[in-house]
Each structure stands twice: as C-alpha cells, then as structure tokens.
Amino acid sequence: MVASLALMETHQIDWEVLYKRTRPTVLALARSWRLHPEEGEDLLHEAFLRAFRNRRNIREPDSGGEYLIQIAKNLLRDRWRVTARIGIPLELDAETLRSNPAFSPESLAEESESMKMLSAALRRLPHRTRHVLVSRHVRGLSYREISLQIGERPGTLAVLAFRGVRTLKEMIAA
C-alpha cells in the first residue's frame, strides 16, 4: 500500500495531454463500431471518467493511453453485448427503423439468414478452433488471454484462428 502511494506521488498524469493524445484513437475506434460522432464523444468521456476513477491502476504515466483505450474497447464490447441480445440499438425508435434501409424487413431477413449460415458453419468447426474464434472475434480476447485459458501458445492460436476463418469462408461460399 505504501509502495503504491509512493508510486502515485512520483508521477502525475497530465489528463489534458492524455486527452489530446488518445482522443483521435478512441473516436476512430467508435467510428469503426459505426457509432455516431456524438456517441463517440460519449464513449471518450465515459472512458476518461472510468480511467480517472481507477487512476491508481495506472502504474506509469505513459501507460495511461493504453489503459484508456482498453477501457473504451471494453465499453464498446459491453454495448455490443447488450445490443446483440435485443438485435437493435436501444436508442432507435420506430420512425428511425422505418426510415433506415438497414432495418428494412428484407435487410433484416438477409442478415438473419447470413447469421444462420455463419452459426451453422461455426458448429461444423472443431471445438478448439470454434473456441478460439469466438473468444477472439466475439468476446474480444487477445491471443495471450485465450492462451491462458486453454494452455496453447498465442502464436499457435493465431494460426488456428487464421485457418478457422479461411475454413469458414470456404464453408459459406460452398
């Protein structure tokens, strides 16, 4: 406890510099998840708030950016889990759904069919390959995190995931 207090006293995080340095990365991350710009700003602010609340976990001043970006990724994953359960984003109303071609009955049926094909192809993969793909691409775990779960080297898991994706593409194309 005393050592961590001493560590905190030896460096101060310049939150303004950290904000300016990580803002473009977090906003780009939000865009990659197809969030509106306002939602990207909300994500950025929520990530900073959580980082500030947990600032004792930041061991080195330079690691603050990585820590903040990881928080943003976790927030996005949490959001995805909620929206995936109900199928559509919570903030959409009926008018928005009717006016957006992405939510037309045809588009939703097509996406549903694609998901069924992907699910069927995933079920045909060997268990280990399926576990790696789901852990990496759905749960967002790193290969290192997955390796701790199943006892394989991260490089082996990366190769397994690459081959699994290639096999999925071949199954779906056939």
CA–chain centroid gap for 11, Å, is: 30
The pLDDT of residue 97: 52
The pLDDT of residue 100: 60
Q: Which CATH number fits domain 104-173: 3.30.420.40, 1.10.101.10, 1.10.10.10, 3.10.20.440?
A: 1.10.10.10
The pLDDT of residue 129: 92
The pLDDT of residue 11: 52
Domain segments of the chain as ranges: 2-86, 104-173
The pLDDT of residue 4: 40
The pLDDT of residue 105: 66
The pLDDT of residue 166: 92
The pLDDT of residue 98: 58
Q: Which residues of the chain have pLDDT under 70?
A: 1-11, 59-64, 81-111
Query: Positive or negative, the Cα torsion across 97, 98, 104, 105?
Result: positive
The pLDDT of residue 75: 87
- Structure confidence by residue, pLDDT tens digits, 102-139: 556 666 666 677 778 888 888 999 999 988 988 888 78
